[in-house]
Amino acid sequence: MVSFLILVAIFAPLIAPYNPYDVSQRTAKGLAPSAKHLLGTTINTGQDIFSMLVYGTRVSLIVGVTSGVCIAFVGSVLGVMAGYLGGFVDSLIMRIVDIMLVIPTLPLVIVLTNVLGRDFWIIILIFVALGWTGLARTIRSLVLVLKNSNYVKAAELAGASRWHVMIRHILPGTSHLVIMSTALSSAGIMVAEAGLSFLGLGDPTAISWGKMLADAQSGGALLFGAWWWILAPGLGIFLAVFSFMRLGIVMEEIANPRMKQTSSVYKIFKSLDGSYIQDVFNSMDEEHKLGMAETATQGGKTHGTHLEA
């Protein structure tokens, strides 16, 4: 599903029958779904709703994925620095995290968007500035355990620098958390962007799923019975968020050593080269041999009882 959404965002001009940004391609207002307009047209502007849905995938994915990647990068780097370097660096980063965690996010976002502007790149910057704290704290806790590992101590005794140890030995050990956080943060940012756009705090020049919901609410979609205008972007948000959350969970199962052996997804990937299937057959053979041995033992005991009788 994530790949499908990415393809839709890339090939939006080829998929959408109309360009919702082109004023000359607008038609009659409030048209019902038909073969010409699959989801009808908007009541207030006459834009094709299906084309808006397709183009809205671009903005929602750009904001969500870009913010998720940047949050994972900033949070992992600062978390590794705080956990491994310790001392003043650890205290400084953790105090910043403590302060930012108690600040109410929504009022701060409203103030920052009004001061800095509502361009979606500004919104991405705000999300990254406020969203890295949770991951940094989690990464720091893991690094406190990893830095006492034997391979880290061996690298330190071999004369490796601190930055070399952090980049080559510590950071790879946190990869499963970073990958999972990227996917889950992307899903959360998509919901947050939709909420901001619905409140009128998003980029007014960009078409996103949240802005479509805001336009539907202001245009009286429920009043005129245009339920498809609300259902289409709502379903898009749900599918995108659900897909990224599932992707995050699956990637954690694959990348986390503690979850790998019990992960059904890992077993599926492992079966692609036949090794997992062979393991299943081997276990079946062992169970069969064990059952035959138990049967033989019970048979021997029964035969001995008959002889005694």
Domain assignment present for residue 35? The answer is no
In a domain, 32, yes or no: no
pLDDT at 185 (0 to 100): 87
Tell me if 208 sits within 8 A of 20, measured CB to CB: no
Do 84 and 211 share a domain, yes or no? yes
Check whether residue 171 and residue 199 sit in a common domain: yes
Does the reported pTM lie above 0.85? no
CATH of the domain at 142: 1.10.3720
Total domains in the fold of the chain: 2
Instruction: Report pLDDT for 280.
Output: 46
pLDDT at 74: 92
Asked if residue 24 belongs to a domain, the reply is no
Query: Looking at the structure, do residues 197 and 240 belong to the same domain, yes or no?
Result: yes
Together in a domain, 237 and 300? no
Q: Are residues 255 and 294 in the same domain?
A: no
59 in any annotated domain: yes
Q: 242 and 279: one domain?
A: no
**Domain span holding position 289:** 274-308
* 237 and 184 share one domain: yes
Q: Do 153 and 302 sit in the same domain of this protein?
A: no
Give the helix ranges, DSSP H, for the chain: 2-10, 12-15, 49-85, 87-102, 105-116, 120-131, 133-146, 150-157, 162-165, 175-198, 209-218, 227-255, 257-260, 264-270, 275-308
Inter-residue contact 207 to 27 (CB < 8 Å): no
Residues 13 and 162 in one domain: yes
- In this predicted structure, what is the pLDDT of residue 281? 45
Please check whether residues 103 and 241 belong to one and the same domain. Answer: yes
Say which residues have a Cβ less than 8 Å from residue 4's Cβ, sequence separation at least 6. none
pLDDT by position in tens, the chain (length 309): 777 888 888 888 888 888 888 777 777 777 778 888 888 888 777 888 888 888 888 888 888 889 989 999 999 999 989 888 888 888 999 999 988 888 888 788 888 888 888 888 888 888 898 888 888 998 998 888 888 888 888 888 888 888 888 888 888 888 888 888 888 888 888 888 888 888 878 778 888 888 888 888 887 777 777 788 888 888 888 888 888 888 877 777 776 656 555 555 455 445 545 554 455 445 545 555 555 555 555 555 444 544 444
> What is the structure's pLDDT at 306?
45
Q: Look up residue 282 and give its two tokens.
A: 């081997």
Q: Please check whether residues 292 and 195 belong to one and the same domain.
A: no
In a domain, 234, yes or no: yes
Assess if residue 88 is contained within a domain. yes
Residue 163 in domain: yes
Task: Report the amino acid identity of residue 235.
Answer: L
The helix/strand/coil state of 245 is: helix
Residues 84 and 196 in one domain: yes
Q: Is residue 197 part of a domain?
A: yes
